[in-house]
Amino acid sequence: MTIARTMLDKLWAAHEIVQREDGSSLLWVDRHLVHEGSHHAFAKLAARNLPVAEPALTFGVADHYVPTRNRLQITDATIARMINTLQSNTQQHGIEFMGLDDPRQGIVHVIGPEQGITLPGLLINCGDSHTSTHGAFGALAFGIGATEVAHVLATQTVWQKKPKSMRININGTLPFGVTAKDIALHWIAKLDNSGAQGHAIEYSGSVIKQLSMEARMTLCNMSIEGGARFGMIAPDNITFEYVKGRPYAPASAQWESAKQAWRQLTTDEGAPFDREIRIDSVDLAPTLTWGTSPDQAIAVDGYIPNPAAYDDAKAQTINSALEYMDLKAGQPIEGTPIDQIFLGSCTNARIEDIRSAAAVLKGKRVKVPGLVSPGSTAIKAQAEREGLDRIFIDAGLEWASSGCSSCVAMNGDTIGSGKRCASTTNRNFRGRQGRGSRTHLMSPIMVAAAALHGAIVDVRSLSLDEACV
């Protein structure tokens, strides 16, 4: 009798080499992505005079530290050293490197899918927590630490304990003005930032099936903000259409057999999950953060929480966040003034995100400054061919090159102390975008709407021609 298995079960079994007595599995790694932060791991290999085990399965890209302006004339010695070190390490070990002058350069979790390096059924690792993005393709994808990066480089394997399984089932039809970013912030706020701790999430339901690949990547990207180890979505025709013809995708001779194998990666009917969460699309609304953690989020027509309604520990957390964010309990979040906006990051800087924000801004002028940083050089070029760059520039925003930019504020793109930023990034931690900065996470169309009004505004209140998304 065949036992019904989840997608997690199938992917894990396909990559497990051996299991230790403590339950840890040695897993084969199909793709390893490295960026500037990998220098510690390469140093460990050098100290032991070890080669990279499978250089053809490793891909290097500069993204975290790269300037979004004047990128070929870097004046910051620290940034230049980080990028040069990555280039040197990849060249030494025969690893393909997508440097600043490479038309494929971009944020690692954007260029992986874009180049077809990310494929259904693969196990993908990177020394970056948002590696969960690649799970949108039905891949087993998770971030690893510096020591694990060294282990993968040396052996093309990683030790990992299998997480518990969680299914988040979202049914209905996505309401106007609601995006994958809103879905993510909704469930994270519902469960809190550790609600999915120790679990791998599989997203399913009619809403998920309707999502584009860009939207699915956004959702899986945010999975870890709710404590999950990673997120996944079963591959389907939308997945296959996205992957087909990309540089590293299976060639025409292997394409049909690859699709046939990928179709088997769905969860079997009746397969048990350790936890099930159900969300009805009618409960979804444009959602944004008010505090200093992604779970501190509310619908745009909601009110900032009142600490008095919670127990002492929770009240203290809320009070602390309100003090840092300079917000008053019980007030509506809509209408809160902002100082600037940021549109970018591995969460929301793909062509769909750029297009949707441009649709809101077309023919308008913004009331606050801001930076638009596409997720890759290829996306930047595509947006420029479509004339989207002119929409942002004419609206009064700065159009920059690709990189992690002010999501991590490592390259000089920072938000000033006390400044409030409407941002498409994935984390609103204290100082994440710059010391003392105040971040409100929201979708690209909500960020664009905030830029137009100089304040947080419900994108649904705009006329349809302003938000044809």
Residue in the block written with tokens 């290999």: 45
For 48-80, give the DSSP string. TT---S-GGGEEEE--SS--SSSTTS---HHHH
- Identify how many contiguous H helices and E strands the chain contains and give both numbers: 15, 19
Q: Which amino acid is at 11?
A: L
Q: How far apart are CA 291 and CA 286, in angstroms?
A: 16
**Domain architecture of the chain: domains with CATH:** 7-162+235-262 (3.30.499.10), 165-231+268-283 (3.40.1060.10), 287-461 (3.30.499.10)
Tell me the residue type at 343. L
Closest CA to 139 of 16, 272, 8: 8
User: What distance, in Å, lies between the first and last C-alpha atoms of the chain?
Assistant: 48
Specify whether the CB–CB gap between 65 and 108 falls below 8 A. no
pLDDT digits (tens, 9 = 90+) for 86-113: 999 999 999 999 999 999 999 999 999 9
Per-residue pLDDT at 467 exceeds 60: no
Q: Which residue has the tokens 């409030």?
A: 420
pLDDT tens digit sequence for 333-381 = 999 999 999 999 999 999 999 999 999 999 999 999 999 999 999 999 9
What does the pLDDT read at residue 464?
A: 53
Q: Does 73 score more than 70 pLDDT?
A: yes
CA 131/CA 125 separation, integer angstroms: 7
pTM for the whole structure? 0.96
| Contact call for residues 393 and 423 (beta carbons, < 8 A) | no
For the record, the structure tokens of 221 come out as 């990207």
Q: Over the chain, what is the mean pLDDT?
A: 96
Burial class (CB in 10 A: 0-12, 13-18, 19+), 368: buried
Distance, CA of 60 to CA of 359 (rounded, Å)? 34
CA distance 344 to 65: 14
Placement of tokens 């990051």 in the chain? 345
Q: What is the DSSP string of 116-163?
A: T-S-TT-EEEESSGGGGGGGGGS-EEEE--HHHHHHHHHHSEEEEEPP
